[in-house]
Amino acid sequence: MTSREEPADALQPRAATVSVIIPLWRENADVPTLVGSIAGWPEVCDVIVSAAQTGVETQTACEAAGARWITSAAPNRGRQLNLGAAHARGEWLLFQHADTELTHAHVEALAALAAHAEIVGGAFYRRFDERHPHCRVFEGFERWHNRTCGALYGDQSLFVRRANFGALGGFADLPLMEDVEFSRRLRRSGKIALLDPPIASSPRKHLAEGAWKTTANNAALIFLYSLGVSPARLHAWYYRRRSSAEGSTP
């Protein structure tokens, strides 16, 4: 169901109104499976993978699963999201991280907003994987933060009406913090919705580094961005830390 603040119609089958756009950098073996599940849902009119530095095998598997494959010359998430949006056909653009869970119930909840013209966009509430209950202590704070004035993040599966996305000029051409920057403009542009069911973020960073440390590091990134540190510098620092913590490349 939707959040208490933004009630929507009872869920029922909807016409295909949602375009799902997945930015991808390098390889991710889970993406073809994700595409295959999404592409068959009746509310989804197209699935677009906007990829950079990704191999032919992944491209072939994603296209076979039902995705339209768009290649970006260099990794830059803001640019990749805009490129994917330029090829989308749906009324709603849903920007989906490859390591964030997306179920049919999420897309149904979004499609149910079609009749609410006052809603320009929004995101899903966040939850952590139930297999790791120690991470779930942060969920209540996240819900409060989202309902008030907090930024909406990419791993919450941001969505926006296509017309409003165009009016806002899309995402800034940023490799990191494109979600924070965009969500601020989205909030100022009109009424947003925070939707249930909450969406599951990957807990792997919290498990690798510790929940409190990861939260503190993420808060530091946002604080440094607010002070004017360039997203390119933050991007280099963020992925260098992730590679070290996870023992692999991002």
Query: Which superfamily, per CATH, for 18-202?
Result: Spore Coat Polysaccharide Biosynthesis Protein SpsA; Chain A (3.90.550.10)
> How far, CA to CA in Å, does 10 sit from each of 44, 112, 120, 148, 224?
18, 8, 19, 25, 42
The domain ranges of the chain are 18-202, 204-250
pLDDT of residue 11: 40
Going through the chain in order, the beta strands assigned E by DSSP cover 18-25, 44-52, 68-71, 92-95, 119-128, 159-161, 191-201
Query: What pLDDT score does 197 carry?
Result: 95
How crowded is residue 136: how many other Cβ atoms within 10 Å of its Cβ? 14
Tokens of 75: 């990794």
User: Which pLDDT value is given to residue 250?
Assistant: 39
Residue 52's pLDDT is 95
User: Tokens standing for 90?
Assistant: 């749906």
Query: Residue 7: what pLDDT?
Result: 39
pLDDT of residue 115: 87
pLDDT (tens digit, 0 to 9) for every residue of the chain, 250 residues total?
Answer: 444 344 344 344 457 899 999 999 988 888 999 999 999 999 999 999 999 999 999 999 999 999 999 999 889 999 999 999 999 999 999 999 998 999 999 999 999 998 899 999 999 998 866 555 666 777 788 788 788 878 899 989 999 999 999 999 999 998 888 999 999 999 999 999 999 999 986 655 555 555 556 556 666 666 566 666 676 777 677 666 555 544 433 3
Strand 92-95 and strand 68-71: pairing?
A: unpaired
pLDDT at site 14 = 55
Strand partners, 201: 128
